[in-house]
Amino acid sequence: MSSGSDWVLVKVGLGLAVAAFVLSWLFCILARRYAPRFGFLDRPGGHKGHQAPVPLGGGVAIWLATMMVLGACGLAVLMGGPELPQPMAEHVTASGLFSRAGELLEILVLASIIMVMGLIDDRKNLKWQLRLGIQVLCASILAASGIRVTLFWPFTHPLLGGAVTVMWIVGLTNSFNMLDNMDGLAASVGLIAAGLFCVGQVVVGSLFAPAVLLIVMGALGGFLVHNRAPARLYMGDAGSNFLGFLLGAMTVAGTYFRYGRDDSPCGVLSPLLVMAVPLYDTTSVVLIRLLEGRSPFQGDRRHFSHRLVARGLTPPQAVWTIDLVTLAGGLGALLLHRLDTWGAGLVMAQTACLLGVVAILELARSGPRAGQGQGQER
């Protein structure tokens, strides 16, 4: 593809992101105004750290912006296919966008069901068993339809690949739900993850998932205008569940290497690097709760972000730290499609070491200051 064609696609992609940003920003303004009238307020108390009620509804704004821009794209492709710019028209063929339209529609419908479930949970506090059951059902429908992890043998088997798909999507859905515990955290991590996935799939020649991810990035950016500390709007369970499910599904539907090129199949491990921090947070929180004899679904202030604040960071500093760790751990994903097994193993080990350093710093007890109390001065 020529550089001129590349530039046309870049401008279109940025245009989609900007459109989603503006719509999300506007919908968030409406959510801040009208959500309290319908009882969608996150009130302080219990393990929650905010001091005054904060409107919910940011998740609905993210969902609306994403759906409207994607719907407009679909309408433009359907009605003006031959008149589209040549670089775009090349991808709107029987073997291109149209061949995956049904796949995208299924993902969006199931993600919307998850969003509605989260919206009801924001209002009525559904039991965790019901929430988990709906998540598993939606992920299972996706896997049964053929949108599932293939990776390499033995994951090419439909049953094993389907089981991994369900666990992955349900795990990410709950990871982002748990990560939504501090102003700007879930949205900023989601934006970074979507950006890394977008670039990682563009470099192997994929445009289907990157187009969706750019729109998600724009919608999250518009929401972050209202959600940065001190937050004036929360995404709620509707937003965190929608974001986690959609990112999980798009990572499964994405392309990480191309046959017939020099790409390495190790690229399929990219999601593990990009989502390392959300998975670390979820795993550590679940283990803490189980060791304390509590339900893994019982809310508390033992998350990664809260533990950083307990070490002396301010909440915004904790969010920035987690964002940087997410970016540092995920950047290696952009190289996996060019690395052999040994190289990919080294990149995976590097991210594991990064999380290991984070865990050690979290667990270390505050001791005497340097030069005081213990040891010799040097």
Q: Give the pLDDT means over successive 10-residue stretches in the chain (378 positions).
A: 65 91 97 90 68 88 96 78 60 58 91 96 91 96 88 69 92 94 95 94 83 95 94 94 96 74 77 92 90 83 88 92 94 88 92 91 59 40
Give the chain's largest Cα–Cα span. Answer: 78
pLDDT (0 to 100) of residue 91? 60
- What are the structural domain ranges in the chain? 9-262
Neighbours of 228 (CB within 10 A): 15
CA proximity to 196, closest of 278, 140, 135, 115: 278
pLDDT (0 to 100) of residue 99? 65
d(Cα 282, Cα 293) in Å, to the nearest integer? 17
pLDDT (0 to 100) of residue 258? 64
Q: Which two tokens stand for residue 308?
A: 């950083």
- HEC profile for the chain? CCHHHHHHHHHHHHHHHHHHHHHHHHHHHHHHHHHHHHCCEECCCCCCCCCCCEECCHHHHHHHHHHHHHHHHHHHHHHHHHHCCHHHHCCCCCCCHHHHHHHHHHHHHHHHHHHHHHHHHHHHCCCHHHHHHHHHHHHHHHHHCCCCCCCCCCCCCHHHHHHHHHHHHHHHHHHHHHHCCCCCHHHHHHHHHHHHHHHHHHCCCCCHHHHHHHHHHHHHHHHHHHHCCCCCCCCHHHHHHHHHHHHHHHHHHCCCCCCCCCCCHHHHHHHHHHCHHHHHHHHHHHHHHHHCCCCCCCCCCCCHHHHHHHCCCCHHHHHHHHHHHHHHHHHHHHCHHHCCHHHHHHHHHHHHHHHHHHHHHHHCCCCCCCCCCCCCCC
pLDDT (0 to 100) of residue 26? 97
pLDDT tens digits along 269-285: 889 999 999 999 999 99
pTM of the model: 0.89
